[in-house]
A and B are shown apart, each in its own frame.
Chain A
Amino acid sequence: MAEEIRIVQPKEYYKRFLEKDVRPDNRELAEFRPVVLNIGCVTTAEGSALIKIGNTTVICGVKAELAKPDADQPKDGFIVPNVELPPLCSSNFRPGPPGEQAQVLSQTMADVIADSQCLLSESLCICPGKLVWVLHIDLVCLDYDGNVMDACMVALVSALRNTVLPKVTVDEETGDIQTDPTTRVPLQVTCCPVATTFIVFDNKLLLVDPTREEESMATGAVTIVTEGDNLCSIYKPGGTPLTENQIDNCIERAFTHGREVCRLIEDTLLSVDR
Chain B
Amino acid sequence: MAGMELLSDQGYRLDGRKPNELRRILFKKGIFKQADGSAYLEQGNTKVLAAVYGPHEIRGSKSRARHDKVLINCQYSMATFSTQDRKRRPRGDRKSLEMTTHLKQTFDAVILTELYPKSQIDIYVEVLQSDGGNYCASVNAATLALIDAGIPMKDYVIACSGSYIKDTPVVDINNLEESSGGNEVIMAVLPRCEQIVFLEMNSRLHEDHLSPVMDQIMAGCRDIFAVLNQKVQEELCQKAALDKLVDSG
Q: Identify the A interface with B (CB < 8 A).
A: 42-45, 48, 55, 57, 59, 61-63, 65, 82, 84, 86-91, 94-95, 136, 138, 140, 142-145, 212
Determine if B81 and A138 form an interchain contact, defined as CB atoms under 8 angstroms apart. Answer: yes
Determine if B81 and A88 form an interchain contact, defined as CB atoms under 8 angstroms apart. Answer: no
| Chain B residue at minimum C-beta to C-beta distance from A143 | B32
> Is B83 close to A, CB under 8 A?
yes
Q: How large is the interface on B (under 10, 10 to 19, 20 to 34, 35 or more residues)?
A: 20 to 34
Name the distance in Å between B92's Cβ and chain A's nearest Cβ: 9
Residues on the A chain within 8 Å of B124, using CB: 86-88
| Chain B residue at minimum C-beta to C-beta distance from A94 | B59
Question: CB < 8 Å: which of B51, B81, B84 contacts A48?
Answer: B81
| Chain B residue at minimum C-beta to C-beta distance from A63 | B86
Residues on the B chain within 8 Å of A45, using CB: 81
Question: CB < 8 Å: which of B34, B80, B129 contacts A91?
Answer: B34
| Chain B residue at minimum C-beta to C-beta distance from A46 | B81
> Is B183 close to A, CB under 8 A?
no
What separation, in Å, do the CA atoms of A145 and B34 have in the docked complex? Answer: 7
Name the distance in Å between B128's Cβ and chain A's nearest Cβ: 6
B interface SS class? loop
> Is B95 close to A, CB under 8 A?
no
Determine if B83 and A44 form an interchain contact, defined as CB atoms under 8 angstroms apart. Answer: yes
Of the A-B pairs whose beta carbons lie under 8 Å apart in the complex, a sample of 6, sorted by A's number, is A44-B83, A65-B86, A84-B90, A86-B124, A91-B53, A138-B79
> Is B45 close to A, CB under 8 A?
yes
Residues facing A in B43-85 (CB within 8 A) are 45, 47, 49, 51, 53, 56, 59-60, 75, 77, 79-84
Question: CB < 8 Å: which of A84, A87, A89, A142 contacts B75?
Answer: A87
Determine if A86 and B34 form an interchain contact, defined as CB atoms under 8 angstroms apart. Answer: no
Residues on the A chain within 8 Å of B86, using CB: 63, 65, 136
Name the distance in Å between A39's Cβ and chain B's nearest Cβ: 14
Residues on the B chain within 8 Å of A142, using CB: 32, 49, 126
Given contacts A43-B45, A91-B53, A142-B126, contact A61 B34 (CB under 8 A): no
| Chain B residue at minimum C-beta to C-beta distance from A212 | B34
Residues on the B chain within 8 Å of A94, using CB: 59-60
| Chain A residue at minimum C-beta to C-beta distance from B82 | A44
Determine if B82 and A88 form an interchain contact, defined as CB atoms under 8 angstroms apart. Answer: no
| Chain B residue at minimum C-beta to C-beta distance from A60 | B81
| Chain B residue at minimum C-beta to C-beta distance from A55 | B33
Q: Which of B51, B59, B79 has the most CB of A within 10 A?
A: B79
Given contacts A87-B124, A91-B53, A142-B126, contact A44 B90 (CB under 8 A): no
What separation, in Å, do the CA atoms of A59 and B83 have in the docked complex? Answer: 15
What separation, in Å, do the CA atoms of A145 and B31 have in the docked complex? Answer: 13
Determine if B81 and A62 form an interchain contact, defined as CB atoms under 8 angstroms apart. Answer: yes
Q: Which of A43, A86, A94, A212 has the most CB of B within 10 A?
A: A86
Query: Can you add 13 more A-B contacts, CB < 8 Å, to A143-B34, A144-B34?
Result: A42-B47, A42-B79, A42-B81, A44-B83, A44-B130, A88-B35, A88-B126, A94-B59, A140-B79, A142-B32, A142-B126, A143-B33, A212-B34
Determine if A136 and B32 form an interchain contact, defined as CB atoms under 8 angstroms apart. Answer: no
> Is B172 close to A, CB under 8 A?
no
Given contacts A87-B124, A142-B49, contact A42 B34 (CB under 8 A): no
What separation, in Å, do the CA atoms of A43 and B83 have in the docked complex? Answer: 9
Determine if B80 and A63 form an interchain contact, defined as CB atoms under 8 angstroms apart. Answer: yes
Determine if B75 and A95 form an interchain contact, defined as CB atoms under 8 angstroms apart. Answer: yes
Name the distance in Å between B151's Cβ and chain A's nearest Cβ: 15
Name the distance in Å between A168's Cβ and chain B's nearest Cβ: 16
Residues on the A chain within 8 Å of B83, using CB: 44
Residues on the B chain within 8 Å of A89, using CB: 32, 34, 51
> Is B148 close to A, CB under 8 A?
no
| Chain B residue at minimum C-beta to C-beta distance from A97 | B92
Residues on the B chain within 8 Å of A57, using CB: 32
Determine if A42 and B33 form an interchain contact, defined as CB atoms under 8 angstroms apart. Answer: no
What separation, in Å, do the CA atoms of A59 and B82 have in the docked complex? Answer: 11
Name the distance in Å between A151's Cβ and chain B's nearest Cβ: 14
Residues facing A in B119-154 (CB within 8 A) are 122, 124, 126, 128-131
